[in-house]
Structure 1
Amino acid sequence: MSDHAFATRAIHAGQAPDPTTGSIIPPIHQASTHVQDGIGGFRQGFEYNRGGNPTRSSLEEQLAALEGGSHALSFASGLAAEDAVLRGILSPGDHVVIGNDVYGGTYRLLTKVHAKWGVESTTVEMSDADALRAALKPSTRIIWVETPSNPLLKVVDIAAIAEIARAAGVVLVVDNTFASPVQQQPLTLGADLVVHSTTKYLGGHSDVLGGAVVFGGDRFYDDVQFQQFAVGAVSAPMDAWLTTRGIKTLAVRVRQHAENAQAVAEWAAGRPEFERVYYPGLASHPGHEIAARQMSGFGGMLSLALVGGSPAARAFTESTELFRLAESLGGVESLISYPSEMTHASVRGTALEVPDDVVRLSVGIEDAADLIADLEQALDRLG
């Protein structure tokens, strides 16, 4: 499928019609185990659902095709995918460098879970190449990049970081959840592995939990796959099928998400109630030029800093109607959240603490005029 356009791959990769019935949609293999043709005689390699399932395999083929990778693994959640990568690559005493604006769960996983097993981590401003080089140690094994970042939408030059990683003999992992493979292809820019919370744009309908790791080659695939099998955080057949279904409309959905987010960002940039608009599609964004170069669009996520500080941010967050107050992102419906006390509560008091005047928007695919009108009425309530 590599010679086909993205939208075509999203629909057809791993989705051959059922050979028995001709069903255009591959069936959900809702089975926990598979009959063997004699001891060790696995049919098409399937033995037990933790080790492999046909529905999950179809999704993994689809995921690899979307990111231009050689292999992919599908997990029960994004954090399960991240955990398997860390376990598969790191040993006690190893060191990880991460950005100073990443998902709170990623930071928590490193500092509260893996730190107990002797893994060290350092946060750094990833856009500062000198600071990144200075943070590297002989024990550094991974540079972990999130771009655009969550929730302040920082943009990192993946190709430039890849050069630093290669020179240091370090693995580059990129969390591509915010951009999605529609608008950014980290493996083509030099990343070694890509991780996703498939719960977000890939699933796209707020009805399934999942995660994925996509590999640029054979390196680390066996190590991470072993962790997946040994620990067992795999996606269930129904979850894999729902994610596959969501992916088929990914290209058209993300295009509309980005168009709506651009309209909301431009509206917000002209409102005096906002101190700052965090959206890489605005020319005023410090990472705009890099985003324009390495992305095919600017995504559906943006954050707003309110002039009135925390009280205004909290009141604004609780005053919208179409933007529903909830964690998560990437679904067709618009969501609003207060990161300081919601998605990023785990990083309060650290170098990653999110300013308490910031509100995060996941802009859905509703009519943009209706979304802006909803935000306007929320501002009106602030008085």
Structure 2
Amino acid sequence: MSEGSCLRFETTAVHGDKGYDPLTGAISFPIYQSSTFRHGGLNESTGYDYSRLLNPTSEEVENTVAKLEEAKYGIGFSTGLAAIDAVLRLFKPGDHILISDDLYGGTFRLFREIYSVYGIKHSFIDTTDLDEIVRNINENTKAIFIETPSNPMMKVTDIKAAAEIAKLNNLIVIVDNTFLTPYFQKPLNLGADIVVHSGTKFLGGHNDTLAGFVVTNSDAIKEKIIYYKKATGAVLSPFDSWLILRGIKTLHIRMDKSQDNAIKIAEFLRVHPKVEEVFYVGLPESKGYVISKKQSSGFGAMISFKVKDKADVAEILKNVKVITFAESLGGVETLITYPQTQTHSEVPQEIKDRLGVTDKLLRLSVGIENIEDLIQDLKKALG
């Protein structure tokens, strides 16, 4: 769509980058389920040679995600972790990266168990504390990796302030924007250099596909990331690209509805006698509330809560009926997860204890069901 840069978020989400297939006029962008493409002759190409390098369907979703983030470039990957893996290949042995201490267990594993073997150094710090960021920068520090809101404790880092510190020290800022999506938060506009997404989650929105994205305005970073994708082959397939395109069409509607439900559920949980504490950035008493209001247009649909009695955990997970006990997040269905043994199982217990990821913590990804049904389900499960 030639006028795409002038369109508002909702319109771009519905229509995508091109708006339709220019070849056929198809409104639903086609699935170009082809691994290779015909050449007209020597040194002649349609621009598509091999789908590991570029595919029309994958290109459409990459450009759509870039537009939603108000960025120049989007690069698709087979999963969110594959996207983060490509970003980490920007660094060399001896480089040091500061990382939000509270973050998805898979990202933790990638830093601690995989890239540390190859000499990429890291420090897990509280990136919500700007002084702690400054204290941990050394001569080898090259980047700050921020997850905000964090998983699962919903800690909020001031992206703009962190980016200002980074620029003074010649560091790049990487932000995982999975929880809020570009509908509620645009980290590049706040000074970040790279945004990563697990497209599996809210972008896809239906728990039916896997995807990841790297988004940037940097020509140099884009070229390197595309090369890493070409070399390693962790590409986003045409069919999965189409599923993400389909999901994005309703992203804004789903995010608004899920957030409305999340606010009501958080308010219900905060006064329940069996609940010790609720972690949701949309509650005014949340430590991240003020910063969220400043840097984001919404609070999202992720809630964690701590019960007073550990025995209630098993009862809740067994007794929910409308809410589903399952890993992952970001779909239309409300899911409940036990970070202790699921998403954060490989994080050392002493780190989990320090962060508050205890055996009494549960995490909710709030969906778009009827709110009364969800609250009634929680009431019965909590007993």
Superposition TM-score tier, normalisation by shorter sequence: over 0.9
Asked if structure 1 preserves the Cα contact closer than 8 Å seen for 2:303 and 2:365, the reply is yes
Counterpart of 1:80, as a letter, is A
Verify: 1:70 aligned to 2:72, yes or no: yes
Counterpart of 2:31, as a letter, is I
Asked if structure 2 preserves the Cα contact closer than 8 Å seen for 1:94 and 1:140, the reply is yes
Aligned to 2:131: 130
Counterpart of 2:244, as a letter, is T
Verify: 1:9 aligned to 2:12, yes or no: yes
Aligned to 2:51: 49
After superposition, give the CA deviation of every residue in 1:125-152 in whole Å (9 maximum; x if it has no partner): 1111111111111111110000011011
Asked if structure 1 preserves the Cα contact closer than 8 Å seen for 2:312 and 2:382, the reply is no
Name the TM-score, length of structure 2 as normaliser.
Answer: 0.96
Counterpart of 1:316, as a letter, is I
Name the TM-score, length of structure 1 as normaliser.
Answer: 0.96
Verify: 1:21 aligned to 2:16, yes or no: no
In 1: Cα distance, 2:315 partner to 2:346 partner: 22
In 1: Cα distance, 2:358 partner to 2:217 partner: 36
In 1: Cα distance, 2:16 partner to 2:342 partner: 36
In 1: Cα distance, 2:69 partner to 2:41 partner: 38
Candidates 367, 370, 377, aligned match of 1:367: 370
Tell me the secondary structure at the aligned position of residue 24 of structure 2: coil
Aligned to 2:152: 151
In 2: Cα distance, 1:183 partner to 1:20 partner: 34
Question: Number of matched residues?
Answer: 377
After superposition, give the CA deviation of every residue in 1:314-358 in whole Å (9 maximum; x if it has no partner): 322222111101000000000001000001101033524521110
Aligned to 1:197: 198
In 2: Cα distance, 1:165 partner to 1:40 partner: 44
Asked if structure 1 preserves the Cα contact closer than 8 Å seen for 2:199 and 2:212, the reply is yes
In 1: Cα distance, 2:330 partner to 2:65 partner: 17
Counterpart of 1:335, as a letter, is L
Query: What is the 5 A alignment of 1:294-373?
Result: 294-308=295-309, 310-352=310-352, 354-373=357-376
Aligned to 2:381: 378
**Runs of 4+ residues deviating >4 angstroms:** none
Counterpart of 1:346, as a letter, is E
Tell me the secondary structure at the aligned position of residue 214 of structure 2: strand
In 2: Cα distance, 1:374 partner to 1:262 partner: 16
What RMSD, in angstroms, separates the aligned Cα atoms of the two structures? Answer: 1.1
Tell me the secondary structure at the aligned position of residue 195 of structure 1: strand
Aligned to 2:187: 186
Verify: 1:97 aligned to 2:98, yes or no: yes
Aligned to 2:171: 170
Aligned to 1:59: 61
After superposition, give the CA deviation of every residue in 1:251-282 in whole Å (9 maximum; x if it has no partner): 10000010000000011111121110000110
After superposition, give the CA deviation of every residue in 1:10-59 in whole Å (9 maximum; x if it has no partner): 1223243223332211211000001112233221x211110010000000
In 1: Cα distance, 2:8 partner to 2:54 partner: 28
Tell me the secondary structure at the aligned position of residue 340 of structure 2: helix
Aligned to 1:82: 84
Aligned to 2:255: 254
Identical counterparts, % of pairs = 43
Tell me the secondary structure at the aligned position of residue 345 of structure 1: coil
| Contiguous gaps of at least 5 residues in structure 1 | none
In 2: Cα distance, 1:20 partner to 1:67 partner: 27
Tell me the secondary structure at the aligned position of residue 219 of structure 1: helix
Asked if structure 2 preserves the Cα contact closer than 8 Å seen for 1:94 and 1:141, the reply is yes
Aligned to 1:118: 119
After superposition, give the CA deviation of every residue in 1:189-231 in whole Å (9 maximum; x if it has no partner): 0100100000000000000000001102323111111100000
Asked if structure 1 preserves the Cα contact closer than 8 Å seen for 2:315 and 2:382, the reply is no
Asked if structure 2 preserves the Cα contact closer than 8 Å seen for 1:69 and 1:217, the reply is no
In 2: Cα distance, 1:352 partner to 1:71 partner: 35
How many angstroms does 1:313 deviate by?
2.1
Tell me the secondary structure at the aligned position of residue 5 of structure 2: coil
Counterpart of 1:216, as a letter, is N
Counterpart of 2:346, as a letter, is S
Asked if structure 2 preserves the Cα contact closer than 8 Å seen for 1:302 and 1:361, the reply is yes
Q: Structure 1 residues 327 and 271, CA, compared in 2 at 3 Å: closer, same or farther?
A: same
In 2: Cα distance, 1:110 partner to 1:217 partner: 23
Aligned to 1:230: 231
Asked if structure 1 preserves the Cα contact closer than 8 Å seen for 2:16 and 2:245, the reply is no
